[in-house]
Amino acid sequence: MPAAPLPVRDGLNPTRLRLPADDTCTTVLDYLLARFPEDADRLREKVDAAEVVITDGTAVTRETPYRANTFVFLYRDPPAEPRVPFEVEVLYRDDDLLVVDKPHFLSSTPRGRHVVESALVRLRRDLDLPDLTPAHRLDRVTAGVLMFTIRPEVRRDYQELFAHRRVRKEYEAIAPFDPTLTLPATVRSRIVKPEGELRCVEVPGEPNAQTRIELIAARAGLGRYRLVPDTGRMHQLRVHLNSLGIPIVGDNFYPTLYDIAPDDYSSPLQLLARSLSFTDPRSGRPRVFTSGRQLAAWP
């Protein structure tokens, strides 16, 4: 995958496009106008300003011929987004790492309709860290400890910690208390996400997801749970607690899918990435980072 010849601008990476086999386009601009017709005027302005380039940094002009499989890079204008009214708190920073306490409702990285309003873009802009890159991710609706690398030279070292499961992750969740459950317990199952579906499901077969679940305390019909995942399947913690009959408070996916307005922040999912711990791959020192947030359902 070619490196982008354009730098991060205003917290955002340039968009990379690979020109497909196409017999109808004679120029690169023809293709861009067909691909993004709603941005036609701005695309012409960007081409005229030499803000659209190919892999070697050569600027695309209005006459640049179309060549299939060429990579084209350009800046898309970010959509107007309402600000998520919660702040990212910095837990730790050095030359290599930035560790933050992410709030609920803020995406980790640009995705879908959440582009500017993501932790990555906010932090790049606010801290002037254009090379900031996530070492892992949290769901938009999950709060807690989120780690980024600051320098490209160290990115691989820390991302591989997560890829090879050398990071201990602890989560907390608030869910109904069921006195008939025997805890602690380890839940193992096979979780898949059917194509075109929003929710994940458990299916028969070799387990690909494992979570240790412990009860920390119980009161007023609710339990406070410690969750230690050994794997990182999509929605794993939510699916596993739901499978025990104790779905997480505020979960609008499990057991029942229902819509929440984009600007409704009244009932956050009661799931918190409480801590990350690992042996630093560069220094060999133990590292532990802990969230200072509290879940609202357990004041």
- Which residues participate in catalysis according to the annotation? 139
Cα 238 from Cα 257, distance rounded (Å) = 13
Instruction: Collect all residues with Cβ–Cβ distance below 8 Å to 284 and sequence separation of at least 6.
Output: none
Question: CA-CA distance, 209 to 191, in Å (whole number)?
Answer: 7
| Largest distance between two CA atoms of the chain | 72
Residues in the chain: 299
Evaluate whether 121 touches 11 at the Cβ level (below 8 Å): yes
C-alpha separations of 141 from 106, 137, 284 in Å:
7, 12, 33
Q: Which two tokens stand for residue 275?
A: 């801590």
**Over 156-183, what HEC string results?**
HHHHHHHHCCCCEEEEEEEEECCCCCCC
C-alpha span between 73 and 57 (Å, rounded): 9
